[in-house]
Structure 1
Amino acid sequence: MTVSSDVKTAVASLKSAQASFEQFALSTENKQAKQMYTNAAQQVQQIIGQVEPRVQQLESEEPQYKGF
């Protein structure tokens, strides 16, 4: 695998984790747990925001990997 595909796989995994935390937050009635899951989802979103520019940088450096 290329660095580009590894980073894209990591971003996809992070998005999946974020969606899971959001789902957990929606499915619990425990306010403390809901807040914990919401915070976790927000933290993962921040990480995604930091990693996605690297994907764009890799794609601009190696256009043959764009879209994979």
Structure 2
Amino acid sequence: MPAKSKAQQKAAGAALSAKRGERSTSSLKGASRSMVKSMSEKELHEMAATKRKGKPERVRNR
């Protein structure tokens, strides 16, 4: 599942590093903290590896 925005891609990257043990989970905030618990390492990698070109900074919920 590719990221829909740059912010989502960055949050997935932070969550992935915590999932791998490179960063503490307590240092995460917001969406990245919940991503660690709810997503697998493979899903996080797919989202974090999304190209940023052409993506908006943020996508607002409707």
TM-score by shorter chain over 0.5: no
Q: Which has the larger radius of gyration?
A: 1
Task: Please give the TM-score of this superposition, normalised by the length of structure 1.
Answer: 0.40
**Higher relative helix content:** 1
Structure number with greater CO (CA < 8 Å, separation at least 6) is 2
Task: Please give the TM-score of this superposition, normalised by the length of structure 2.
Answer: 0.42
